[in-house]
Amino acid sequence: MQAIQVEDQILVWGEAPDPECGPGQVKIQVAATAVNRADLVQAAGGYPPPPGASPILGLECAGEVTETGEGVQRVKPGDQVCALLAGGGYAEQVVVPAGQVLPLPSGLSLADAAAVPEVFATAYLNLYMEAAIAPGERAVLHAGASGVGTAAIQLLKQSHNPSFVTAGSADKIARCVALGAQGGHSRHSGPFLQAAREWAGEPGADVILDPVGAGYLQDNLTLLAVGGRLVLIGLMGGMQAELNLAALMMKRLRIVGSTLRARPIAEKAQVMDALYEKVWPALASGAIKVVVEETFPLPQAQQAHELVAGNNTVGKVVLTL
């Protein structure tokens, strides 16, 4: 098969071995995949795939099932599906555990469906399973215009949770508000804390979803209400920071570190099942929309990565075959 290979941190379309479909697995002929920040980090030499996962980039895909392994009853050859991957999406074929595969939401194209699994799974897992956000609680979403951010805004709107976002420009904030956020702050206008506190009011925010890390840690803890939860899903702003343990104790705060890629297959299947029950109907009805900034042919993945690295996109960048 053909796939994207990384050669001196440059993405090149070339030959790769066909993946083999084993027990409990599904082979998919890939029609589309999507770019995630993790792909950029892996291409630069960081964030290696978990043991046993494909070294090829790509954490999600959509396409047609061509083969199923022993014991698979969830899908059958010929089904159009999308899937959450530990790697391998930037290729003509991929093999994935059956529990990470779902039928396409009704009415979605393969290209749009390819932009769903990674970001909606990440947003759902961390807001509803890790943070256990309750109806009416207030959430702050850093990098609100990202793929995860645009998914999270819409999920929170559906569950009646007000949200406030930070992002890189006033235009991005406006687009987040159009999706359902109640307010926002551009990081180029200075620290977010004052604006977020004015929005959250005296109690503070109940949940913060943060891919930034160290650079935002102290302001995040200041912003949280008593019993608040900070869920760390990235480290774009650094890995180490000082922590005021007294504030953590007095406000009974919880800090949750969370990744999706390296979780056991059973946990990923649980998240995907929750998406199928809670999110797929809203995608089918149009209540939740897939936000795609631009689409490239998969052999042009290098240009797609450069676009994402420029930090001017809202939502996802899709790669099609």
What is 2-116+261-320's CATH superfamily?
A: Medium-chain alcohol dehydrogenases, catalytic domain (3.90.180.10)
Instruction: Tell me the two tokens of residue 79.
Output: 């089904």
**Which tens digits make up the pLDDT trace of 11-45?**
999 999 999 999 999 999 999 999 999 999 999 99
Domain ranges of the chain: 2-116+261-320, 120-257
Residue 268: predicted pLDDT: 98
Three-state secondary-structure class, residue 188: helix
Q: 117-124 and 265-278 helices cross at what angle (nearest 10)?
A: 90
Give Cβ neighbours of residue 122 (< 8 Å, ≥ 6 apart).
148, 151, 233, 260
Burial of 265 from C-beta contacts in 10 A (0-12 / 13-18 / 19+): middle
**Which tens digits make up the pLDDT trace of 55-77?**
999 999 999 999 999 999 999 99
Among residues 80, 36, 31, 26, the alpha carbon closest in space to that of 58 is found at 36
Burial of 76 from C-beta contacts in 10 A (0-12 / 13-18 / 19+): exposed
**Which band of pLDDT confidence, cut at 50, 70 and 90, is reported for residue 82?**
very high
What is 120-257's CATH superfamily?
A: NAD(P)-binding Rossmann-like Domain (3.40.50.720)
Residue 276: predicted pLDDT: 98
Residue 150: predicted pLDDT: 98
The reply to whether 120-257 shares the fold of 2-116+261-320 is: no
Q: Mean pLDDT throughout 169-196? A: 96
Q: Mean pLDDT throughout 106-133? A: 98
Give the separation between CA 225 and CA 203, rounded to whole angstroms.
5
Whether 161 has a pLDDT exceeding 90, the answer reads: yes
Give the separation between CA 316 and CA 203, rounded to whole angstroms.
34
Give the Å distances, CA to CA, from 117 to 11, 174, 271: 23, 25, 10
- Give the residues across from 263 on adjacent strands: none
Residue 125: predicted pLDDT: 98
- Amino acid present at 318: V
Give the separation between CA 150 and CA 144, rounded to whole angstroms.
6
Q: Mean pLDDT throughout 267-296? A: 98
Q: What is the mean pLDDT of the chain?
A: 96
Q: Mean pLDDT throughout 180-186? A: 98
Whether 47 has a pLDDT exceeding 90, the answer reads: no
